[in-house]
């Protein structure tokens, strides 16, 4: 009975984590779209720095209240994480500027196979056939929804490669650091957010000027634009936290695959709030395919052998042959 209730509690927390991430992620995309498209605030890197500054204030407050305990994260691990995260943010912005929207979407889709590669190489994860096929179905569906014109150039391709690999490494590191140092989501965020805020606020205005040829301090700040900036920063706290919670509870691959539900919702809300000219049959078909693939992935990856981390211990000489035979038998049963 206790095992059943424990499983139910885990399932409830999993659903709540995903719901929290989807709501905050879709919310911040819609707010930022209004802020940038309607009010002309095109300083994405600086805005991200403000997001992490707001997140830092929350972690400081929670630490002061005792909700975040003292923990340790080695400086090399912290710097590597911040490096990957900042290259991800800047790389995505540069990729969007230098590439067509279609190639930018293809680059984003390639994060899933890159994340799979990282898990296979570093975590010795093995995927079943159904899990692999479900990932392909999700990729196909999202591609049908989002990929239109596709053109590529050398510098755009290099920017996309940097963006994809840095994003995949950043998301892998979220899960890896939480496991390695026994850190909770708030703990890890408390270590990384201040460094990201400081670094992005330092380089953000220069990067944004390079991308837009506009200066952030010369922007015409109004009451409405300031309201949207503050709203964006507030929602970003939930987005940052929910990302760490979801990747910590699951993996970067699951976060990427099921995270494309956010892409579907953004498309739907975009049609509702910003015009319905993009709503056509092939987009609807792509949405259906993608959602079907996500459901299939959730079912396939949760089955025994669907997605497992294989840990090989060093057996004693006396029992080595017996253990190897046992491992071989388990492999046949799982796959």
Instruction: Specify whether the CB–CB gap between 204 and 66 falls below 8 A.
Output: no
Question: How far apart, in whole angstroms, are the C-alpha atoms of residue 101 and residue 121?
Answer: 31
Q: If you write DSSP's letter for every residue of 263-315 in order, what string do you get?
A: HHHHHHHHHHHH-STT--HHHHHHHHHHHHHHHHHHHHHHSTTTEEE------
- Alpha carbon distance 228, 236 (integer Å): 12
In a domain, 1, yes or no: no
Q: Residue 159 pLDDT > 80, yes or no?
A: yes
**Residue 323's pLDDT is what?**
45
Domain range for 106 is: 10-309
State whether residue 173 is helix, strand or coil.
Answer: helix
pLDDT-derived band of residue 305, with 50, 70 and 90 as boundaries?
confident
Q: Specify the pLDDT at position 278.
A: 56
Q: Is 2 inside a domain boundary?
A: no
Residue 315 lies in a domain: no
Q: How many structural domains comprise the chain? A: 1
Is residue 323 in some structural domain? no
Residue 209 belongs to a domain: yes
Answer whether residue 235 shows pLDDT above 90. yes
Residue at token pair 């496991």: 179
Residue 328: per-residue pLDDT: 40
**Residue 119 reports pLDDT greater than 50:** yes
Higher pLDDT, residue 311 or 269? 269
Quick check: is 293 in a domain?
yes
User: Is a pLDDT exceeding 80 seen at residue 166?
Assistant: yes
pLDDT digits (tens, 9 = 90+) for 18-45: 888 888 888 888 898 889 888 889 899 9
Residue 31 in domain: yes
Q: What is the pTM of this model?
A: 0.79
Mean pLDDT score of the chain? 82
Position 219 in a domain: yes
Quickly state the pLDDT bin for 279 (edges 50, 70, 90).
low
Residue 26 pLDDT: 83
């Amino acid at each position: 009975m206790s095992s059943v209730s424990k499983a139910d509690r885990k399932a409830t927390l999993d659903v709540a984590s995903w719901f929290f991430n989807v709501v905050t992620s879709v919310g911040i995309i819609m707010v930022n779209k209004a802020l940038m498209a309607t009010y002309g605030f095109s300083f994405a890197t600086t805005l991200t720095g403000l997001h992490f500054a707001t997140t830092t204030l929350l972690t400081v407050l929670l630490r002061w209240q005792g909700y975040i305990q003292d923990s340790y994260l080695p400086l090399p691990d912290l710097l590597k994480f911040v490096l990957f995260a900042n290259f991800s943010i800047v790389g995505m912005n540069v990729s969007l500027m230098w590439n067509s929207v279609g190639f930018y979407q293809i680059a984003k889709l390639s994060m899933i196979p890159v994340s799979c590669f990282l898990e296979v190489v570093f975590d010795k994860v093995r995927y079943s056939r159904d899990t692999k096929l479900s990932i392909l179905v999700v990729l196909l569906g999202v591609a049908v929804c989002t990929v239109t014109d596709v053109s590529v150039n050398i510098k755009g391709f290099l920017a996309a490669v940097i963006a994809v690999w840095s994003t995949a490494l950043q998301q892998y590191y979220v899960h890896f650091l939480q496991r390695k140092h026994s850190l909770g989501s708030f703990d890890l965020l408390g270590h990384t957010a201040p460094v990201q805020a400081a670094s992005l606020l330092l380089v953000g205005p220069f990067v944004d000027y390079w991308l837009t040829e506009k200066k952030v301090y010369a922007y015409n700040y109004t009451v409405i634009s300031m309201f949207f900036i503050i709203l964006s920063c507030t929602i970003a706290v939930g987005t940052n936290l929910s990302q760490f919670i979801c990747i910590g509870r699951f993996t970067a691959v699951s976060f990427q695959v099921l995270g494309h539900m956010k892409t579907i919702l953004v498309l739907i809300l975009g049609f509702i709030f910003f015009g319905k000219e993009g709503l056509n049959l092939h987009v609807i078909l792509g949405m259906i395919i993608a959602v079907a693939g996500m459901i299939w992935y959730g079912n396939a990856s949760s089955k025994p052998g669907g997605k497992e981390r294989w840990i090989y211990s060093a057996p004693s000489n006396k029992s080595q042959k017996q253990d190897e035979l046992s491992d071989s038998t388990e492999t046949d049963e799982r796959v």
